[in-house]
Homo-oligomer: A and B are copies of this chain.
Amino acid sequence: MILILKENYDKKQLDNLSDWLKAQDIEIHMCEGVHTTIMGLIGDTSSLDIDMLLTLDIVESAKRIQEPYKNANRKFHPQDTVVQIGDVKIGGGNFATIAGPCSVESEEQLCTIAEQVKAAGAKLLRGGAFKPRTSPYAFQGLRETGIELLLKAKEKTGLPIVTEIMDISHLPLFEEVDVIQVGARNMQNFELLKELGKTRKPILLKRGLSSTLQELLMSAEYIMAGGNENVILCERGIRTFETETRNTLDLSAIPMLHQMSHLPVIIDPSHATGISKLVKPMSTAAAAAGADGLIIEVHNDPKHALCDGAQSLAPEQFADVQKAVDAVLPFACR
């Protein structure tokens, strides 16, 4: 980290700061110019709070040279992490599609979709049991029952299951869940992340609606600092001023995250765009850009279902998307 000192800084305050830094095993290099004094801080600066340092009277500005994330950092872990879920691998050249309905509604609905997406090439089944909803008056998901239904569908089809957790207190219900999803709104629910760090379950961590990639990696770091290395990063669209699409899918996050981190990166084109017609081009583009997987919403029957999202595909459309993705995968950029 570099600190630039104010022109007429108080020497005594500098001594205080230097002592405090040294007490934390930080080595200090001073570089004094005519008007400007620069302090280079060498050592493990990840626990230093740059905002707090900026507050000091003698500090003009500060700049991190090293990234504040360690466990998630590609620099200290050059090989791709491969997350193993039963027989399925994600990352390090292994591509997997996760598919299923937005909300779990019934055993019949879920099992039908599960079999259809499996036949089309999906490797994991997704489905919402706990649903984060903006309105307290909207359907909040089948909750416990939803998880039971997911486990039945897993039993029938053999597909490992992915479902979202919304609170630490629900963790016991997730014991047989294969991949625990942390939603965009909980990306900075730090107490939840710490608790998930104590498990060894694969965690699918979604990027917050207006989070930076570094913030996403800091949240992964919370999980990894607890000893759980099984983190899958997921880009699901960020908030922008565009209104034609629900959010803006940031596909440059794929190569950028691969450069910053060794963790696998998957893409959620359904939530990102909110428009089923865009799922195919965005899925193919994600595969071309080097994504390690996709998570796609599929509903069973568009003619009868009232509440399928605008972003959901019918099973035959999903099969078409999977085929298009498979065609592009051999030419993916990695």
A17-B306 in contact (CB<8A): yes
A168-B168 in contact (CB<8A): yes
Which residue in B240, B275, B302 is a CB contact (below 8 Å) of A240?
B240
> Please, what's the 1-or-0 string for A1-32, where 1 marks a CB less than 8 Å from any CB in chain B?
01010000000010011001000000001010
A281-B333 in contact (CB<8A): yes
A285: chain B residues at CB < 8 Å are 251, 285-286, 288-289, 333
* Complex interface: stretch among A88-96, A120-128, A172-180, A207-215: A207-215
Which residue in B20, B169, B244 is a CB contact (below 8 Å) of A214?
B244
User: Are A213 and B242 also in contact (CB < 8 A) when A135-B68, A251-B249 are?
Assistant: yes
B4-A133 in contact (CB<8A): no
* Complex interface: stretch among A54-62, A78-86, A106-114, A198-206: A54-62
- A243–B273 alpha-carbon span in the complex (Å): 20
A211: chain B residues at CB < 8 Å are 241
B245-A256 in contact (CB<8A): yes
B34-A31 in contact (CB<8A): no
A193: chain B residues at CB < 8 Å are 136
A302: chain B residues at CB < 8 Å are 57
Interface bracket on A: 35 or more
A274: chain B residues at CB < 8 Å are 51
B190-A166 in contact (CB<8A): yes
A284-B288 in contact (CB<8A): yes
Copies in the complex: 4
B46-A42 in contact (CB<8A): no
Residue A254 lies at the interface, judged by CB distance under 8 Å to chain B: yes
A188: chain B residues at CB < 8 Å are 132, 134, 185
Residue A40 lies at the interface, judged by CB distance under 8 Å to chain B: yes
A286: chain B residues at CB < 8 Å are 285
Residue A161 lies at the interface, judged by CB distance under 8 Å to chain B: no
A221-B333 in contact (CB<8A): no
Residue A230 lies at the interface, judged by CB distance under 8 Å to chain B: no
Which residue in B241, B245, B251 is a CB contact (below 8 Å) of A210?
B241
Q: How far is the CB of A61 from chain B (nearest CB, A)?
A: 7
Residue A144 lies at the interface, judged by CB distance under 8 Å to chain B: no
A310: chain B residues at CB < 8 Å are 51, 54-55
- A211–B210 alpha-carbon span in the complex (Å): 10
User: Could you list which residues of chain A lie within 8 angstroms of chain B, going by C-beta atoms?
Assistant: 2, 4, 13, 16-17, 20, 29, 31, 33-36, 38, 40, 42, 46-47, 49, 51-52, 54-57, 60-61, 63, 65, 68, 132-140, 166-170, 185-186, 188-194, 209-215, 218, 221-222, 225, 238-246, 248-252, 254-256, 259-260, 272-275, 277-278, 280-282, 284-290, 302-304, 306-312, 324, 327-328, 331-333
Nearest 6 Cβ contacts at the A-B interface? A31-B31, A55-B310, A285-B285, A281-B333, A167-B191, A288-B288
